[in-house]
C-alpha cells in the first residue's frame, strides 16, 4: 500500500503556521479487492483503489431544510410589503427564529395582488403549521386546507460539523473542516442529467486567475485544446469539445474557500458545496454574521424550484404541496443529488491505447477535478476507442462502462448521509 497527498487549494491564503506543512488531504492507494464472495468486475480488473485518509466518525452529519417557498392565494388584493411584517410578527409572537420574505408569483418585491410566494428561512416544522393557521385566519382561508399549499421551492442542506471543536485548536478544527469541504467536491458525482446540460457542469466562481467568471472542473471549451487532440477529433468524426477531458490543462481543482456549483443558473435543480463560516449574508449591504468555531461546517445543498405553472425540481421528487413534506422520505433523493464515489486508478485507461501521447494521467486528473473529471476522462477514452473501432483502426473490444464507470460507491459516506436524511424526514413528520 502506498500513500499520496493532495494539497488543498485556496483563493485567499488561509491563516496557517509557516513551520507546518501546507494543508492537504491524504489517500491510500491499494489494489482493489471486491467484497467477500464477489468476483472482480471487468471494468475494475487490475485497478487500484484511492481511499481518503479521513475519519467520518469525527464529524456530525445533519440535514435540514434551509428555506421553503409556499404559494399563498388569498381572496382580496394586498401588498407584499404589508403581508411580510404581519407574518413576521406571527413568527415573532411564538418565539420563532425563522424569518419570512413575501413576494409576488415572479419572486419580485413590490407586488400587489392576491397571489403570493412566502419564503420561510430556517423553517421549523413544529412552528410552521401553527403560523400558517394564523395566516389562514387573518386572510380568509380555511386553515384545514393549508396542507394543500403549493410548494414553489425548497433548499435541502447536508452539513458536516467537526466533533469536539471546543477541545481542538483553531488550526486543527479548520483543517478538518477544509478537508471535508474538499471531500464533498472531489467525491460527489450526481446524476449526469444535472451536469451535462449546457453551463451546468461543476464549477466555482472567482476565476482561475482571480477574474470574476466561472472556472469549470472540466473546461468545456475547445479553446487552447492540445494540438494532438485537435488533429485527432476530425479524423474520427468527433467534435473537438468532446475531447476536452483528455487534456490535463482543462481540469481544475476548486478552491476550498469558494462556493462550487452544479446545475445551470436558475435551473429546476442546483447543487452547491461550500465552507460554511458565515450566515445571514446580505449582498446589498455587504453584512454577514461570523459563525462560531462550533457552528462552522462543510455543506452540500440542493435547491429544488420551479415556476407557478411548472412541476419543478421539487415536484419531480414528490414535493408538490406542503402536506407532502410531512414525513417525506428524504433518503430517496440521496442517490440523485448526494451520491459519493471512490476513485480507482489503472494502467489500461491512461490513454496510451488511443494512438496519441497524452499529458493527462488518471492520478493527476483526480488531483484536480476528482471523480467527476476522472469519470469524464474514462468515458472520453471509451468514446475515442469506439470511434477507432468503427473506422477499422482498432480491433480490441471496448469494456462497457456502466452507471458507476470505474468508480465505486462510497458506502460509508452515503450511509452517513442516509441517516441524516432519514432523521430529517422524522423531524418533518411533526408538521401537522
Q: b/e for 221-258, b at 16 or more Cβ within 10 A?
A: ebeebbebbeebbeebebebebbbbbbbebbbbbbbbb
Lowest average pLDDT, out of 186-195, 236-245, 278-287, 422-431, goes to 278-287
The pLDDT assigned to 421 comes to 98
In angstroms, the Cα distances linking 429 to 40, 72, 88, 128, 404 are 42, 22, 24, 12, 34
The pLDDT assigned to 264 comes to 86
Number of C-beta neighbours around residue 332 at 10 A: 13
The pLDDT assigned to 347 comes to 72
Contacts of 144 (CB under 8 A, 6+ apart): none
Let me know: does 219 contact 365? Beta carbons within 8 Å.
Answer: no
The pLDDT assigned to 109 comes to 82
Instruction: Return the higher-pLDDT residue of 106 and 422.
Output: 422
Phi then psi for residue 344, to 5 deg, are -125, 150
* Residue 395 clears pLDDT 60, i.e. is over it: yes
| Angle made by CA atoms 360, 380, 42, in degrees to the nearest 5 | 95
The pLDDT assigned to 388 comes to 87
* Residue 361 clears pLDDT 90, i.e. is over it: no
Residue 81 — very low, low, confident or very high, per pLDDT cuts 50/70/90?
very high
* Residue 350 clears pLDDT 60, i.e. is over it: no
Let me know: does 181 contact 256? Beta carbons within 8 Å.
Answer: yes
Classified as helix, coil or strand, 276 is strand
* Residue 393 clears pLDDT 90, i.e. is over it: no
Q: CA-CA distance, 377 to 385, in Å (whole number)?
A: 12
What does the pLDDT look like over 271-295, one tens digit per residue? Answer: 999 999 988 766 666 677 899 999 9
* Residue 381 clears pLDDT 60, i.e. is over it: yes
Instruction: Return the higher-pLDDT residue of 293 and 396.
Output: 293
Lowest average pLDDT, out of 81-95, 242-256, 351-365, goes to 351-365
For the chain, the structural domain boundaries read: 61-160+264-338+415-430
Q: CA-CA distance, 293 to 291, in Å (whole number)?
A: 7
The position carrying cell 478538518 is: 176
Residue 211 — very low, low, confident or very high, per pLDDT cuts 50/70/90?
low
The mean pLDDT of 71-90, rounded to a whole number, is 95
What does the pLDDT look like over 8-50, one tens digit per residue? Answer: 999 998 988 888 889 999 999 999 998 887 888 889 999 999 9
* Residue 310 clears pLDDT 90, i.e. is over it: no
Phi then psi for residue 87, to 5 deg, are -75, -35
Beta bridge partners of 274: 299
* Residue 357 clears pLDDT 80, i.e. is over it: no
The mean pLDDT of 69-96, rounded to a whole number, is 96
Amino acid at each position: 500500500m502506498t500513500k499520496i497527498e493532495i494539497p488543498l487549494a485556496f483563493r485567499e491564503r488561509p491563516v496557517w503556521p509557516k513551520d507546518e506543512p501546507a494543508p492537504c488531504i491524504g489517500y491510500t492507494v491499494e489494489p482493489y479487492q471486491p467484497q467477500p464472495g464477489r468476483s472482480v468486475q471487468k471494468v475494475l480488473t487490475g485497478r487500484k483503489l484511492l481511499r481518503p485518509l479521513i475519519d467520518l466518525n469525527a464529524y456530525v452529519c445533519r440535514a435540514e431544510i434551509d428555506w421553503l417557498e409556499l404559494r399563498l392565494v388569498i381572496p382580496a388584493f394586498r401588498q407584499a410589503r404589508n403581508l411580510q411584517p404581519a407574518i413576521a410578527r406571527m413568527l415573532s409572537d411564538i418565539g420563532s427564529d425563522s424569518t419570512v420574505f413575501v413576494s409576488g408569483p415572479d419572486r419580485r418585491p413590490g407586488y400587489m395582488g392576491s397571489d403570493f410566494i412566502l419564503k420561510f428561512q430556517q423553517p421549523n416544522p413544529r412552528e410552521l403549521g401553527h403560523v400558517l393557521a394564523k395566516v389562514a385566519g387573518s386572510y380568509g382561508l380555511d386553515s384545514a386546507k393549508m396542507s394543500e399549499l403549493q410548494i414553489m421551492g425548497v433548499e435541502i442542506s447536508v452539513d458536516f460539523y467537526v466533533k469536539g471543536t471546543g477541545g481542538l485548536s483553531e488550526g486543527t478544527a479548520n483543517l478538518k473542516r477544509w478537508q471535508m469541504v474538499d471531500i464533498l467536491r472531489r467525491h460527489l458525482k450526481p446524476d449526469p442529467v444535472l451536469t451535462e446540460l449546457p453551463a451546468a457542469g461543476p464549477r466555482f466562481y472567482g476565476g482561475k486567475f482571480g477574474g470574476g467568471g466561472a472556472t469549470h472542473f472540466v473546461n468545456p471549451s475547445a479553446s487552447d485544446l492540445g494540438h494532438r487532440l485537435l488533429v485527432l477529433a476530425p479524423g474520427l468524426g468527433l467534435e473537438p469539445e468532446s475531447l476536452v477531458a483528455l487534456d490535463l490543462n482543462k481540469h481544475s481543482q476548486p478552491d476550498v474557500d469558494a462556493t462550487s456549483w452544479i446545475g445551470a443558473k436558475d435551473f429546476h435543480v442546483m447543487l452547491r458545496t461550500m465552507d460554511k463560516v458565515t450566515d445571514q449574508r446580505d449582498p446589498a449591504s455587504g453584512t454577514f454574521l461570523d459563525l462560531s468555531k462550533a457552528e462552522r461546517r462543510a455543506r452540500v445543498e440542493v435547491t429544488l424550484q420551479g415556476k407557478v405553472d411548472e412541476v419543478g425540481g421539487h415536484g419531480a421528487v414528490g414535493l408538490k404541496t406542503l402536506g407532502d413534506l410531512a414525513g417525506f422520505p428524504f433518503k430517496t433523493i440521496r442517490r440523485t443529488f448526494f451520491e459519493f464515489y471512490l476513485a480507482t486508478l489503472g494502467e489500461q485507461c491512461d490513454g496510451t491505447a488511443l494512438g496519441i501521447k497524452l499529458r493527462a494521467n488518471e492520478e493527476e486528473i483526480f488531483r484536480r477535478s476528482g471523480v467527476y473529471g476522472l469519470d469524464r476522462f474514462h468515458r472520453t477514452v471509451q468514446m475515442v476507442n469506439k470511434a477507432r473501432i468503427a473506422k477499422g483502426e482498432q480491433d480490441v473490444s471496448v469494456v462497457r462502462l456502466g452507471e458507476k464507470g470505474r468508480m465505486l460507491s462510497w458506502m460509508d459516506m452515503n450511509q452517513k448521509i442516509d441517516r441524516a436524511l432519514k432523521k430529517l424526514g422524522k423531524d418533518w413528520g411533526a408538521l401537522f
